[in-house]
Structure 1
């Protein structure tokens, strides 16, 4: 086979781990262009895949066989249309987490139909994994198959690594408050949202009134009942996209007398059928 034929063959077989090029009686194994990529770039490409697809890539090359165990993004999805048994899906997650090598993960995402607390122990173990691996972004979408829903374990309410948290069909009932010091985005797919105050020790210790991050934005597209109570130290509650609200209760206190803030808040609630306000709001 001529050199030009060899180049054409290599181009046509980029997705194959190795291409055999024959020169006379001698055969040479030459890696294709994908196999020549550095590990960090391959892992970046893998980060946009579901884990089942990432693991499948291991059949393309011996070098890739266990490369997926170094992935920093773990994403699992079991759709309602899937022919795969959900029990097998749960087991595949458990097996994958055992082999995960990084000490820190950027993203951990799971979506499947959660039924009658059947897999509560598995999900609890995943939350332990999230804590141990210092996961920065957690997306736990437990599609509704149970009236009770999944109750987030208490260890998750004190997580100093979470930057982004998205929960669906989960109950949040912290016993001793919440400590998410670096959390920037919280997304909850719920119908009822009750917020019992906001307190951050750094805010309490600071006398800086020029803080650019004074707002606590509550984006509640699906919430029908909202209650805001307690103290909001140096944070102004701001409501966005709350058209679904039917019942709203404002029983909170703000350390400053802020009439504009309250006016803006009430304007956001002008459409609700039932509005209850506490003594601080009445005074302002």
Structure 2
């Protein structure tokens, strides 16, 4: 093969240099760029607007908006809320929003509540499919069992959200859930409520208005009922994690669960004085019991072994109650294909054997 001439070598080198100088990212289709933006925090995506005239409005094509703030409620948080409001206002109205994620510290404040109400109007008018409202509360970190002692706190979800036909996935943390009228969530498939007061009326409205709901998680919630009836034909997965309740209630309060169409049930986390009783779970295929229940002092920092180390009469009686409850739970799920028991359940069964 004959060697290339100096002219052809120069042309090849020039071509490589032109290719290196070429802005290939800017030449990507808008659909690809918006997909890349969906993996970035929205603040980062917005910053690309300063790159050039071409990039000034590229970020408005993203179908995913993620707003995260680690600041406490102060002037910085107000700046953060203004940034969110401005971003939602400038976002391309022809683009369907798939996911809106907001994480920030929450404190009762008229300005913040007005901003949140406007943002959820945006959710309603732009057919947002996945909404995540993650609000932090310092009280929960210090004393989780008394967070609702003075009544429900947190952000009050506006009524417009309860008639959102496009929403498929909703996750809230430290929000007041209380629809005053009917709920209409025909597309909702997954609902996760954390740090919320849940009444029987609220839960029944949600179940009646969510004909497609498949997954329900109640985490660190306070229940205002002692019987959970789920007749929904669509709901298949139920997760109950760490029910919050004040220490002034009756010892060994019982939560009865009747859900004949459930396929998966998980009871996990810490409980102070709450027993569980399964009534009808005849369709259950998988059960997951990974919880611990201490009554006399509500201390969850020690293991079961440490709990029973001081073999007081009260603790002996508690173990009998725990063992009896576990026996009843296991009898009700004897037909499942897969059963998982956490450390506490296994230890209680070992220390006070189930007949």
TM-score (norm 2): 0.57
Distance 1:269 1:69, change over 3 A: closer
Q: CA deviation at 1:234?
A: 3.6
Alignment size in residue pairs: 244
> What does 1:88-167 align with in structure 2 at a 5 Å threshold?
88-103=79-94, 104-117=96-109, 118-144=111-137, 148-167=153-172
Distance 1:66 1:53, change over 3 A: same
Q: Residue by residue, what CA displacement relative to the aligned partner does 1:113-164 show, whole Å, maximum 9, x if unpaired?
A: 1122240000000000000000001111122268721000011111110011
Number of the residue aligned with 2:34: 43
Q: Tell me how far apart the structure 2 counterparts of residues 150 and 44 of structure 1 sit (CA, whole Å).
A: 31
Q: CA deviation at 1:88?
A: 1.3
**Which has more strand, going by share of residues?**
1
Q: Tell me how far apart the structure 1 counterparts of residues 101 and 210 of structure 2 sit (CA, whole Å).
A: 30
Number of the residue aligned with 1:240: 239
Distance 1:193 1:40, change over 3 A: same
Gaps of 5+ in 2: 1-9, 140-146, 148-152, 246-252, 262-277, 296-320, 322-331, 333-355
Q: Is the 8 A contact 2:259 2:280 kept in 1?
A: no
> What does 1:5-20 align with in structure 2 at a 5 Å threshold?
7=16, 11=20, 19=21
Q: Residue by residue, what CA displacement relative to the aligned partner does 1:61-92 show, whole Å, maximum 9, x if unpaired?
A: 32111111222111111113899811111111
Q: Is the 8 A contact 2:259 2:281 kept in 1?
A: no
Distance 1:200 1:99, change over 3 A: closer
More displaced stretch, 101-110 vs 179-188: 101-110
- Structural RMSD (CA): 4.0
Q: Is the 8 A contact 1:167 1:189 kept in 2?
A: yes
Number of the residue aligned with 2:307: none
Q: Tell me how far apart the structure 2 counterparts of residues 254 and 63 of structure 1 sit (CA, whole Å).
A: 57
Q: Residue by residue, what CA displacement relative to the aligned partner does 1:171-220 show, whole Å, maximum 9, x if unpaired?
A: 10111132111111111222643444333697xxxxxxxxxx8x955433
More displaced stretch, 246-255 vs 265-274: 265-274
Gaps of 5+ in 1: 12-18, 20-30, 203-212, 276-283
Number of the residue aligned with 2:198: 193
Q: Is the 8 A contact 1:157 1:174 kept in 2?
A: yes
**Which has more helix, going by share of residues?**
2
Q: Tell me how far apart the structure 2 counterparts of residues 267 and 107 of structure 1 sit (CA, whole Å).
A: 30
